[in-house]
Every structure is written in C-alpha cells, then in structure tokens.
Chain A
Amino acid sequence: MIFTLIGLYLVALLGLGLASQRLARGTGEDFFVASRGLGPFVLLMSLVGTHMTAFSILGASGEAYQRGVGVFALMASSSAVVVPLIFLFIGLPLWRLGKQHGYLTQVQFFRERYASPALGLLLFALLVLLLVPYLLIGVKSAGLTLAQASGGQLPSWAGSGLMCAVVLGYVLTGGMRGTAWVNVFQTVIFMALGAATFWVISSAGGGFEARMTELSRARPDLLSWGGKIPLPELMSYALIPLSAAMFPHLFTHWLTARRAETFRGSVVFYPLCVAAVWLPSVLLGVFGRLDFPNLAAAEASSVLVRLIGLHAAPTLAAFLTAGVFVAVMASTDSQVLALGNMFTQDLVRHYRFHDRMSEAAQLRAGRLFITLVMLVAWGLSEWVDRSIFKMGVWCFTGFAGLFPLVVAALYWRRSTKAGAIASVATAAVGWLGFNWLGWGAPNYTVGGTGVMPVAVVVVAAAVVLIAVSLVTRPPEETHLARFFAPAGGPR
C-alpha cells in the first residue's frame, strides 16, 4: 500500500514537471527563474517548501526526542525572526539587482559587485561543497523513511536512490516553473498530512492532554530547555538561520518574484508557517519518548515514522508515511536546480565554453554535473551516520559564514575585493576546521563552552572582511553606482 501511494505521488510529480514544460519559453531565464514571473502565493509556498525540509520534519522530531521542547526555541522561533528579515533586507534588494542586471546566480552578482573572477570561482567551489551535505539530508531521510516504513524490506540505499532518480527526472524536464509548482503541491500535501499525523498520534493513548500529563510525570526534563540546552548554545544557535541569506536555492526562488510586492506574503506569513511545521514535529518527537524510550541518536531521526507505524491503521499509515516522504523531498529539487543553474551560468557560460558547445551539449553537461553531485550525495548517505539535525546544523554553519559577505556587498560601499575574498576564505577554513574538530563529537561546542562554532565562524568572517577592506584600496565610485542608490543604500 505504502509503495503504491508513493508510486502514485512520484508519478504526479513527474506529471507536474512535464505539464509545466508546456508553458516553457525555451530560454535560460525561463528554465532557471521562471521568467521572473511567479506570484505571491507560489513564492510563499515554494519558499516554505524549500526551506522546511527533512531537517524540520525528521531532524526536529529526532532532536526533540533527545533534548525536549527546547528544540523549538533553538531553531524555529529564531528562524521566525531571522529568515523574514533576510527576505526583506537581503532577498528584496538582491531580487531588484538581479532584475536590473539580469543575474541568475549569486556568483554572477558577487563577481560583478567586487569585479573579481577569482572571488566568483572561490564562491562557486564553496557553495557546491556546502550544498552536498544539504542534499545529503534529503537523500538520507528518504532512504530512512522508506526503510522504516517497509519494515526493512526496502534497504535505505534503494529508497535514497529512488528519490534521487525522481527528483532528477522532474527538475531536468520542468526547470524552475516545474520545481515551483511541485513545491506548492508538496507544501500543501505535507502541511495537510502533517496535521493529520499530529492528530492521529496525539489522540492515541487517551488523547493529547493525557499524553502530555504522562510526559510531565515520566520525563519532566523534556518540557523545558534549562538543563538540556545551555544559554550560550541557545544564543549562538540564533545565528544558524543567517545561513538562509546565502542558500543558492533560496536566491533562485527570490529571483522568480514578479514584483517587489510579491515578497510581502513571504515576509509576513513565514513566522506562522515555521510554527505550523515545527510545533507538531517537536511535540511528536517528545511523545516518542513514551512509546520508544531508548532509541539511539541516529535511530531517533526515524521516531516520527515509527510513531506512525505504531498508532495509525495500515491504510492511514501509508498515507501519512507518504506525507513524510513528500516533506523530505521538498527542498532537494530546488537545490538540484540551483546546482545546474550555477554550473551552466558560472562555469560553462562565464568561461565561454558555450562558444564551443551547442545548446544541447551545454544542457547535457549541466545534467551530467547534477547527476554526479547527486551520486556523491547518494554514496555519502550510506556512509555518514550522523543524525539529520546535526548534519543540518553542520551544513548551515558554513552558509552562515558567508552572511557578512552578502551584507557588505549590499550595504557597505567601502568593502573591497580583497576583503570579500579573505572573508570567504575565513568562512571556508573555519567551517572545515570545526568539522574536523567536531567530527567525532556530534554535540561539539567551542572549547566545551556551549558556544556553537557558527558564532566563531560568522564573527571571524565579519572581522576579516572589515579589517582587510579598510587596509585595501576602496572601489571606484563609478563601479559602485551600478549597485548603490545615490543615497547610499542598495539599489
């Protein structure tokens, strides 16, 4: 039953990809940013679908299983403030600059803003490197969900592989329009099935109130964050959502907006969407302690699927598990599309390979690149055994390290090429260094102080950017006029 439903769902996704192809105009701008013509509802749903991923469903419930309801404060409520501010103060100006200058990727913007091909290349390499663990979260979660739902009949590598194949199928046929449509469909489905899952599981065992009372008797430590989450950790976690400012797939989604006003719904309603997705995930994670008291850290990521199997009737369980599968796929497609976009624009076209390659050959090269990256993510998914939540935090730390760069590019005229390159290099070295230090210790904090590595990486990248910019020659005013309004703010 579960495989029939998931099969039907996957066919529907491929159908949406093919249907959206009928509206295609055959241009790169149409394929990668839907001709910058999407409306507010599609933008909101696709941004939520893209940003609320396996991390928010399986990762959040698994982490709440271990650390209690404080996980909501750790990521959800900080994202509810930071991410809409990023949409407003970074997404909106980038959308405007993208429209004025025809940018399709972040690298194009930064390369021109700082007049530096070297910065473009460095950024390209780092963004691809950072996207691999992000893809890994979705790929690993898909395998985990299907393996758990099938009682181990379908090995996790097969489930992960199936997901990779379907995502590649509809992204490569439908482009951004297809991906945005699929994201809307996925977001509506996973929100509806998420509500149903929450209702079914919390109604079991005497109802929500009875389960909460039982929890407060059996595990009161899970009902507060004190003791489970040190204050420095709570404070430094608030920097993790800064990563949204540099996600290549969010950048691409911003460019799809028809008008500036299109952003309004995303800015205003994003905090409510975060709460709607994270509240059930966190509560179900802590309820999981009552039914499965002794899961190991890696197993905790599948607590939601285990709860569905325990409490829902087989037919309903099949629907709900399909809903979880929908959720874990929701952002992988945008990431894959962003990768293809970056490869085509930032390597093939920028280095003029397109002069020597036909349009079809460029497309083939782009598809081959995406497929190779997906294969790497698929291979790693069987090898890396970290929890989904920890993998997400690890990956977001690297993206957050690039936050000072985007702020300086938009708001600080005095920032220089050398400052930008030094800042990106600092973020990369910091990210890799902390990964090396914390690889064997999933709960690693800086010197055991409770401070997350993200705080050090962001501050170091900002300090280096400021210091190096101040000691190097300021950019030409004529060059800056392309990016700044006469009053000083971004155009």
Chain B
Amino acid sequence: MTERLRSRGRRWGGWMGVAVALLVLLHHDVWLAEARHLVLGLPASLLYHLGYCLVASLVMSWLWRCYGASSAASPEDEA
C-alpha cells in the first residue's frame, strides 16, 4: 500500500507542478480587470475568484491524493 502510494506520488510529480503553475497563471484575471457588470448578482471578477477558490480546493484534494497520502504513508508517522 505504502509503495503503491509513493509510486503514485512520483508518477504525478510533473503534473502537480503543471497544475500549480496553471493555478498561479489563472489567478491574474487580466481579461476581467475592467469588467464592471454583474453576473448572478455579483461583480464578474469577484464571482471568478470565488470559482477559483472552489477549483483550488479540488486541486488541493488531488494534490493530497498524489503527494500528501504517499507522504502520510510513512510507517514512522503512525508510530
């Protein structure tokens, strides 16, 4: 189990970097910088950043499965 989780961590390492880099890029919503209209009752940029937080939570859940779970599987942690 531990080895399987660690191997998953190694396999997804590059993709984890890509996911984080994408999140950093998407944070800077220059295309909405001047948008002053409301979408679903909220300013467009604010709604975008709310959605961004939701996506961040999903990415973190995936990162935990790739890295955190394998890291947490160290036998000495459970001692």
Name A residues whose Cβ lies closer than 8 Å to a Cβ of B. 69-70, 72-73, 76-78, 80-81, 84-85, 88-89, 92-93, 96, 99-100, 208-209, 212-213, 216, 220-221, 223-227, 231, 234-235, 238, 259-261, 263-264, 267-272, 274-275, 279, 282-283
Contact = CB atoms under 8 A, between A and B. Distances in A.
A374 B42 CA distance: 41
Contacts of A261: 72
A78 B45 contact: no
B18 interface: no
Given A84-B56, A279-B50, A69 B61 contact: no
Nearest to B59: A81
B77 A73 contact: no
B41 A208 contact: yes
A73 B63 contact: no
Which one of B20, B43, B61 has the greatest number of beta carbons of chain A within 10 Å? Answer: B43
Interface in B16-31: 20, 23-24, 27-30
Contact of A69 (B27, B45, B56, B77): B45
B36 A220 contact: yes
B54 A272 contact: yes
A92 to B, nearest CB: 6
B72 A260 contact: yes
A196 to B, nearest CB: 20
Interface string B34-59: 11111001111110011011101101
Given A212-B38, A224-B45, A84 B60 contact: yes
A231 B30 contact: yes
Contacts of A282: 46
A267 B30 contact: no
Interface residues of B, number: 40
Contacts of B42: 212
A77 B35 contact: no
B64 A88 contact: yes
A260 B71 contact: yes
Contacts of A231: 28, 30, 33
Interface of B: 20, 23-24, 27-30, 32-38, 41-46, 49-50, 52-54, 56-57, 59-61, 63-64, 67-68, 71-72, 74, 76-78
B20 A72 contact: no
A275 B28 contact: no
Contact of A234 (B28, B41, B61, B67): B28
A272 B57 contact: yes
B68 to A, nearest CB: 6
Contacts of B52: 77, 80
Q: Which are the 4 A-B pairs with shortest beta-carbon distances?
A: A226-B33, A260-B72, A275-B53, A223-B43
A216 B38 contact: yes
16 contacts: A77-B53, A81-B27, A89-B67, A208-B41, A212-B42, A216-B36, A224-B44, A227-B34, A260-B77, A264-B68, A267-B63, A271-B53, A274-B53, A275-B50, A279-B46, A282-B46
Nearest to A229: B33
Contacts of B78: 259
A221 B64 CA distance: 39
Given A77-B27, A80-B56, A84-B56, A259 B43 contact: no
B41 A88 contact: no
A267 B74 contact: no
A92 B68 CA distance: 8
Contacts of A234: 28
B76 A100 contact: yes
A89 to B, nearest CB: 8
Contacts of A260: 68, 71-72, 74, 77
B34 A72 contact: no
A96 B77 contact: yes
Contacts of A76: 49, 53
A269 B61 CA distance: 9
A264 B64 contact: yes
A84 B50 CA distance: 16
Contacts of A264: 64, 68, 72
Given A73-B29, A212-B41, A269 B57 contact: yes
A88 B74 contact: no
A264 B66 CA distance: 12
A209 B29 CA distance: 24
Contacts of B74: 96, 260
A436 B41 CA distance: 43
A235 to B, nearest CB: 6
A283 to B, nearest CB: 8
B27 to A, nearest CB: 6
Contacts of B68: 88, 92, 260, 263-264, 267
B50 A88 contact: no
A310 to B, nearest CB: 22
A93 B70 CA distance: 12
Which one of A212, A263, A264 has the greatest number of beta carbons of chain B within 10 Å? Answer: A264
A267 to B, nearest CB: 5
Contact of B33 (A99, A209, A216, A224): A224
Which one of B38, B53, B77 has the greatest number of beta carbons of chain A within 10 Å? Answer: B53
B50 to A, nearest CB: 6
